[in-house]
Chains A and B, each alone.
Chain A
Amino acid sequence: MLQHSTCLNMQSANMLLRRIVRSSVLPFATQHGMKKDLFPLSRTLSSSLCLKQDKSHEPSEKLDLDEWKKVMKSGLQEEVIEVASEPKELSSLAAARETLEMWRLAGRAVPENISEEQLKTFMECPSKSAKKKYLKYLHLKELHKKNDKRKMEEKRERRLEAQDQDSKPDEIKKSPFLHFWSRTMDKAYNWRAAQSMIFGQPLVFDMSYEKEMSVREVSNTVRQIVMSESSNRKSVDPFHIHFCNFKDDSLYHREFIKNYREAWDKLLITVTDQCYTEIFPKDKLIYLTADSPKVMKTFDHDKIYIVGSMVDRSIKTGVSLARAKRLGLETAALPLEKYLLWNTGAKNLTLDQMMHILLTLKDTADWKKALEFVPKRKCCGFVNKPVKELKKTLDLINTLKLGKGREKAEKQFAKNYPQRYKLKQK
């Protein structure tokens, strides 16, 4: 209690005492954050005070249901003064920050810490739902970060423990092989990539979709390309990657710098602002797009495949097909329908999946192996027969997947189908 009254001025301490006397509970100013260490002390104090006080109180076994209100109100006296002294008008940024804080307290998916930049982005969101989504995204990002940090720390602790246990200096084992460090591996990969720059089959990434994408989609695209570049470098026989229609200082460029940092200038790929039609002969180019009416039968080693570097979260059909049509290029789609029992999801694959598939085709020409890289949730399995023959099985699967009998399905269908068609059908 002593240290308590040192933090409060005399007056409020007196008030506090008086209030203790009045109510049967000892209040605290929460913001002093000393509830915990004061707790045992205060408990005895308040009970001893209670014993001597007026008898109008209910007996202790009778519950006082409005106790919490008293507690809440009493703990607030000092805060009220604080709030009153603050300027009433908040700037819009501060108000937004305040709102976010309240949402967080209410238990919504809101990040704990938010930077000025993010706050501005948040305020520029056009609608309530957009704001909600953005906050959720930040919140999840924060959670992931925290978890990663936690795991890192745990790992470090484990390592330290392990070191403590075997602190004896180990004898150096002799081995005919040198230990392969990752640097050495990198060197080997780079040799291969350099070789592909001279002799490899070109693979073009068409970088002309910046306008069609949101900022988030562009950053996703770049991340996917980074992944595909690394898997290309590690393959046995890499492609010679071209980034065509690449504008300097574009959003793509900035994102790449963010991802690669100083390695960007050392990448063993060709980056150009020219169009692929200017670099390669038109008849050799094949534009890969899911909307293409033509289906790829085999991988052709002297054609140049073009992949549109675009992530379309809201599936925009026909954007890349339109590009190919405009330039009069041949198009092709992967034979997903032919070889896979398609289950769910869109047929546009991510760029790194595309890369894996093309690399595998190049090395093995085996569709089954190549299409392993299609996400498992999207297909039920690989088939050697044409899918048309398996229609019956598929229908059965679908009916089972609906989890109801056909009759029920039909009823629902009939209910949902517009009234117009049911007229005059006797």
Chain B
Amino acid sequence: MALFSQTSQQGFLALLWKCHMFWPASRCRQLYVASFSIPIREKINYFSSMTSSSTALPVDPKETDVLPSKKRSEIDCKEGKGWDEETKEMPEGKLHFSSSVGAAKKWSMSRVVPRHRLSNLQPPEKPLQAEEWNKLREEFHSPEIFEEVMLNSMIRCNSPIDVAKSLLSHVAKRNGDIAYNMLVKYLTLCVQQGQVSEIQDVYDIMKVRFKMLESGAYSLLIRGLSNSNQWRMALTVLEEVKKMMIPSRTCYESCIKAASRHQELKLAFELYSEMLAKDVVPTLDVLQSFFDFSRGMKDAELQKELFGILLYLRENQIYPHRTFMRSIKLWFESLPGGNWRGRLTKIKDSGQCPVCSHQLEDSNLSEEEYSHLSERIIRDVIHGTDTFRKTSPEELEAFQTFVENRLPFDIVIDGLNVSHIKPRRMQCENLFDAVNCLAKENARLLVLGRKHMLTNSSNWKREIMKEMQNKAEFFFAENISEDDAFLLYATLRSGKHCRFVTRDFLRDHKACLSDSLTRHLFRKWQRGHQIVFFPSAAGKSIHFLPAFRYDCVVQTTGDTWHIPYKDVFEEKYSYQVPRKWLCVHQK
């Protein structure tokens, strides 16, 4: 990477720390959640990418158009009906499943016993007699939690169910009762192996023995039952959960998938709308399963619902991943009499689709949206809880009058950000190059900086600064003020045509905005107006990447659909946009 060869070690590391890319993931995430209050919706989307089954897909670097077919896992219903060949092709959520079992396992490991001590406990191969269990128990270092640890390791090794049964019988004989957490662990094992009759038995026992169950057991039950031909029972369990709390999205997911698998799409959509009404964010798996199971159906009502899902993707700026995109494509193509045709493509910089030569939506906001966004930037980002945190009232006023007197600008530049592009050169030279590059087209420039740029120093030569000020307008903020917020404001005030230059992702400013609607608006505006740059390897020049002219969301004109998709199932930052598109049009 060119960027690397240029940076010294120290700069590189500083950058790493800045980007949080280098901490152990778990900690990073913790810190993230703890300290930067990620907007709820985004967090959930991010997690949806973690739990969805498509993580199991191999990364496909050569972009071959083969649908990876997976062996059907043992979890799939053994006695389920209504499976057609195509659904077999669906990568069924084995990984997802095990991950959720993992979650159940995590909380069931309540007593803190160090992992290394647990790992050496191997569950037996076949059922044991009571005496044998007793013997094993006495050999174990802390007999009082022997059963718990044993069951955990059985879950981990996916032992035969009979072994677990013999352990439970042993416990029942000894104590005349089996503790709830043991039952839950046993249930986990049954669900893992799809033992439907056992799941039902455990459920009956639990219902009689306990007044109510808790969320973990319920979600296990729902998952276990929904993968069987007893899936309607899962729905009754779901009703029970609703009485006490809002069911989790995985519960809904299992039920919806079960319903749509058995061609009860109406029921599935009822559950889906109920889920949305409760503000539970659906996983991408749910959405994908709708497309998978309604393939080839001729039903206007159903079509409308599925178009609704596509619009949901649009509104929430969600990009489907490759397999999901493929499901959408196949669904379109299977519509009887629709004559839809899907093609994968890349959109030109001009915003024209090479397949159907349709011009994509403009990335510009409406007047109303502009004024709303600039108001919000002032209210939430600049003022926030205390105007003095990022600036001071006098400075803000001075800046506002400065901007109003010189409107409109064509390009607003974050001076300090640009000046750091090449660490080996003087900062003012970097800025000078950038200003020269951008000033060529007779554009009106505004450079935002801080006052320390005016004091003559090794990095800021007064002559060069003087020369620059002939080519562009400059505004210098106080050294302890935030200049980014000013950058946003000046760009927004200048109107549609104005762009801004910075390498910053503006995540922290987006996070200041109070509601998700405005945040989405902000991202849209940022995509269409931010010019990013990078140093070219040779010489002094700087490459600027123009802002997107078209808007990167799912979009339709009625007879065409354009859907951007992610290549692999990766964690996606909200400032990145996919470059690949699915174009669906009617012949």
Q: Which A residues fall within an 8 A CB radius of B? A: 25, 27-28, 30, 35, 61, 63-69, 71-73, 75-76, 79-80, 83, 86, 95, 98-99, 102-103, 105-109, 212, 293, 313-315, 317-319, 321-323, 325-326, 391, 395, 398-399, 402, 409-410, 412-414, 416-425
Known contacts A28-B176, A65-B165: A106-B3 contact under CB 8 Å:
no
CB of A391, distance to nearest CB on chain B (Å): 6
The answer to whether B201 touches A69 (Cβ under 8 A) is: yes
CA–CA, A321 and B162, complex, Å: 66
Measured in the bound complex, the distance between the Cα atoms of B2 and A98 in whole Å is 61
List B contacts of A75 (CB < 8 A).
176-177
- On chain A, the residues within 8 Å of B213 by CB distance are 102
Complex Cα spacing A103 to B210, Å: 12
Stretch at the interface among B63-71, B386-394, B396-404: B386-394
Decide if A398 touches B13 in the complex (CB within 8 Å). yes
Interface check B300, CB cutoff 8 A: no
Q: Is the CB of A63 within 8 A of B127?
A: yes
B181 and A105 form a contact (CB under 8 A): yes
- What are 29 A-B residue pairs whose CB atoms fall within 8 Å in the complex? A28-B176, A61-B129, A63-B127, A63-B129, A66-B165, A68-B171, A69-B201, A72-B178, A72-B209, A79-B208, A95-B244, A98-B212, A99-B212, A99-B244, A102-B212, A105-B180, A106-B180, A107-B108, A108-B216, A293-B479, A314-B37, A322-B389, A325-B392, A409-B16, A410-B12, A412-B22, A419-B579, A421-B534, A425-B534
Q: Cα distance A75–B127 when bound, in Å?
A: 24
Cα A106 to Cα B210 in complex, Å, equals 12
Categorize the interface residue count of chain B: 35 or more
Given the contacts A25-B173, A402-B22, A73 and B389 also touching, CB distance less than 8 Å: no
Q: Which residues of B contact A73 (CB under 8 A)?
A: 205, 208
In the complex where A35-B176, A106-B214, A322-B386 touch, is A63 in contact with B21 (Cβ < 8 A)? Answer: no
> Any chain A CB within 8 A of the CB of B111?
yes
Contact (Cβ within 8 A) B575 A418: yes
A interface, over-half SS: helix
In the assembled complex, which residues on chain B have CB atoms less than 8 Å from the CB atom of A30? 176-177
- Separation of A76 and B176 alpha carbons in the complex (Å): 11
Partner pick for A98 among B4, B108, B165, B211, CB 8 A cutoff? B211
The docked-state distance in angstroms from the alpha carbon of A402 to that of B389 is 34
**Once the chains bind, are A76 and B388 in contact (CB under 8 Å)?**
no
| A-contacting residues, B1-31, CB 8 Å | 1-4, 9-10, 12-13, 16, 19, 21-22
Interface membership of B35, Cβ < 8 A: yes
| B37 contacts A107, C-beta separation under 8 Å | no
B34 and A314 form a contact (CB under 8 A): yes
Question: Chain B residues with Cβ under 8 A from A409's Cβ?
Answer: 16, 22
A99 to B35, CA, bound (A): 30
Which of chain B's residues have a CB closer than 8 A to the CB of A27? 176
Contacts A63-B169, A425-B534; is A319 near B107 (CB within 8 Å)?
no
Known: A67-B169, A72-B177. A410 touches B4 (CB 8 A): yes
Instruction: Determine whether B118 belongs to the interface, using a CB cutoff of 8 Å to chain A.
Output: no
Residue on B nearest A425 in the bound complex, by CB: B2
A102 CA to B171 CA, complexed, in Å? 20
Given A68-B168, A418-B505, 5 additional A-B pairs, CB 8 A: A61-B129, A105-B210, A293-B480, A326-B388, A409-B22
Q: Which residues of B contact A (CB under 8 A)?
A: 1-4, 9-10, 12-13, 16, 19, 21-22, 34-35, 37, 107-111, 127, 129, 148, 162, 165-166, 168-169, 171-173, 175-181, 184, 201, 205, 208-214, 216-217, 244-245, 385-390, 392, 479-480, 505, 532, 534, 536-537, 543, 545, 573, 575-576, 579
Contact indicator B184/A395 (Cβ below 8 Å) = no
| Residues of chain A lying within 8 A (CB to CB) of residue B214 | 99, 102-103, 105-106
Distance between Cα atoms of A398 and B217 in the complex (Å): 44
A416 to B570, CA, bound (A): 10
Is the pair B13, A65 in contact by a Cβ cutoff of 8 Å? no
- Complex interface: chain A residues within 8 A of B385 (CB): 212, 319
Nearest CB in chain B: distance from A293 CB, A: 5
Q: How far is the CA of A313 from the CA of B30 in the complex (A)?
A: 13
Residue of B with least CB distance to A92: B244
The total of interchain contacts (Cβ-Cβ below 8 angstroms) comes to 169
B181→A72 contact, CB < 8 A: no
Bound form: Cα–Cα A106–B179 in Å: 9
Find the B residue at minimum CB distance from A291.
B480
Q: Given the interface contacts A105-B179, A319-B386, does A420 sit within 8 Å of B532 by beta carbon?
A: yes
CA separation between A102 and B109, bound complex, in Å? 15
Q: How far is the CA of A17 from the CA of B272 in the complex (A)?
A: 52
Whether A79 pairs with B3 at a CB distance below 8 angstroms is no
Residues of A within 8 A of B177 (CB): 28, 30, 35, 71-72, 75
Interface residue from A64, A319, A321 paired with B480 (Cβ < 8 Å):
A321
The answer to whether B576 and A418 touch across the interface, beta carbons within 8 angstroms, is yes
| CB within 8 Å for A64 and B10 given contacts A73-B205, A107-B108, A413-B21 | no
Q: How far is the CA of A395 from the CA of B12 in the complex (A)?
A: 10
Return the 6 tightest CB-CB contacts between A and B, nearest first: A107-B110, A322-B388, A105-B180, A102-B214, A68-B172, A71-B172
A114 to B452, CA, bound (A): 57
Task: Contact check, A108 vs B168: say whether CB atoms are below 8 A apart.
Answer: no
Q: Is the CB of B211 within 8 A of A83?
A: yes
Q: Check if A315 sits within 8 Å of B166, measured CB to CB.
A: no
Known: A63-B127, A102-B213, A416-B19. Is A421-B172 also a contact (CB below 8 A)?
no
Cross-chain contact A422 with B1 (CB below 8 angstroms): yes
Contacts of B34 in A (CB 8 A): 313-314
Tell me, in angstroms, the Cα distance from A212 to B386 when the chains sit together. 11
A106 and B165: CB pair below 8 A? no
User: How many Å lie between the Cα of A318 and that of B171 in the bound state?
Assistant: 59
State the Cβ distance, B420 to closest chain A Cβ, in Å. Answer: 14
Complex contact A65–B127 (CB within 8 A): yes
B543/A35 in contact, CB under 8 A: no
Q: B390 touching A318 by the CB < 8 A rule?
A: yes
Residue in A closest to B109 when the chains form the complex, CB atoms: A107
**A312 vs chain B, min Cβ distance (A):** 10
CB of B259, distance to nearest CB on chain A (Å): 25
Chain B: CB-nearest residue to A27: B176
Question: How long is the Cα–Cα vector from A68 to B147 in the complex, in angstroms?
Answer: 14
Q: Which residue of A lies closest to B164 (CB)?
A: A65
When the two chains form their complex, are residues A106 and B172 in contact, meaning their CB atoms are under 8 A apart? no
Option from B3, B111, B212, B386 in Cβ contact (under 8 Å) with A107: B111
A419 B576 Cβ-Cβ under 8 A = yes
- Min CB–CB distance A410 → chain B (angstroms): 6
- Whether the pair A108, B110 counts as a contact (CB closer than 8 A) is yes
CA of A239 to CA of B168, assembled, Å: 66
Closest B residue, CB atoms, query A318: B389
What CA separation (Å) do A325 and B205 show in the bound complex? 66
**CB neighbours of B4 from chain A (8 A):** 410, 413-414
Q: How far, in Å, is A211 (CB) from chain B's closest CB?
A: 9
- The reply to whether B172 and A108 contact each other, CB–CB distance below 8 Å, is no
Q: Nearest-CB distance from A106 to chain B (Å)?
A: 5
Q: Which residue of B lies closest to A32 (CB)?
A: B176
B451 to chain A, nearest CB (A): 12
B1, A414: Cβ atoms closer than 8 Å: yes
Q: Give the residue name and chain of the A residue nearest to B543 (CB).
A: A424
Residue of A at shortest CB range from B481?
Answer: A325
A309 to chain B, nearest CB (A): 17
Complexed CA–CA distance, A109 and B110 (Å): 7
Is the Cβ of B172 less than 8 Å from the Cβ of A67? yes
CA distance A326 to B505 in the complex (A): 30
Which A residues lie within 8 Å of B184 (CB)? 106
Closest residue of chain A to B387 (Cβ to Cβ) is A322
Are B108 and A106 closer than 8 Å at their CB atoms? yes
Which of A71, A98, A319, A418 lies in contact with B573, CB distance below 8 A? A418
User: Are B169 and A65 interface neighbours, CB within 8 A?
Assistant: yes
Least CB distance, A323 to chain B, in whole angstroms:
7
Question: Considering the chains assembled together, what is the distance between the CA atoms of A63 and B166 in angstroms?
Answer: 7
Bound Cα distance from A27 to B210, whole angstroms: 18
A212 to chain B, nearest CB (A): 8
Q: Please measure, in the bound complex, the distance between the C-alpha atom of A106 and the C-alpha atom of B184, giving whole angstroms.
A: 7
**A100 to B: closest C-beta gap in Å:** 9
Known contacts A72-B205, A105-B181, A416-B21; A325 and B388 CB within 8 A of each other:
yes
